[in-house]
Amino acid sequence: MEQVAFYILAFLAIVSSLFMITRINPVHSALWMLLTFFSVAGIFVQLDAEFIAAIQVLVYAGAILVLYLFVVMLLNPKSHGFIKIPFRYAIGTLVSIVLVVQIFIAMKTTNILGLKGSVTEQMMKELGNVKLFGKELFTNFLVPFEIASILLLVAMIGAIVLAKKE
């Protein structure tokens, strides 16, 4: 039964994220994003990561989505969307997809992350869910954490450059 629920939540997350990026109306896109956030939070609950699920709902579905909707309402975009992306950006998208695939292949074939082992049941009982998460995040997964923060910074700068009026 848990596996069926996981597949339903994963399918819902994938479909709603695809609808989110293909909608022209930004408000509809934000509503699909909300469904994506909730389905990902459901997956976290299934993984016994209640803290991450709560953060997912509070921070992303609560704060970030509300901020996004305020920006949409303040800018009052036309129904054509915010930005018309020229075709020349398709090459950049293709290059970035190839780069991400190469990074995943490199991570699978080498021990670039330096992972020492998985979390045991005994560690979960001793430390608790939240302490164990913090310990794992800032010891074994520090490099991926920093890579994710750099990627988010680059995405934010890219969004600003694309949204800039000519």
**Alpha-carbon span 11 to 17, nearest angstrom:** 10
Whether residue 78 sits in one domain with residue 57: yes
Binned average pLDDT, 10 residues per bin, the chain of 166 residues: 91 92 83 91 88 84 76 62 60 79 76 54 63 77 81 77 68
Half-sphere exposure for 20 (CA within 13 Å, toward CB): 15
pLDDT at 16: 93
Whether residue 150 sits in one domain with residue 100: yes
Whether residue 26 sits in one domain with residue 9: yes
Instruction: Show the tokens assigned to 113.
Output: 């992350």
**Domain end point (choices 53, 82, 111):** 82
Phi first, then psi: give them for residue 77, nearest 5 degrees. Answer: -70, 155
**Angle subtended by helix axes 26-46 and 65-75, to nearest 10:** 180
Whether residue 108 sits in one domain with residue 38: no
pLDDT at 86: 65
CATH of the domain at 43: 1.20.120.1200
Instruction: Show the tokens assigned to 95.
Output: 């290059």
pLDDT at 161: 74
Whether residue 107 sits in one domain with residue 45: no
Whether residue 93 sits in one domain with residue 64: no
State how many domains the chain has.
Answer: 2
By residue range, what is the domain housing residue 135? 84-166
**Domain end point (choices 35, 53, 82):** 82
Whether residue 14 sits in one domain with residue 57: yes
pLDDT at 63: 76
Whether residue 76 sits in one domain with residue 7: yes
Whether residue 92 sits in one domain with residue 72: no
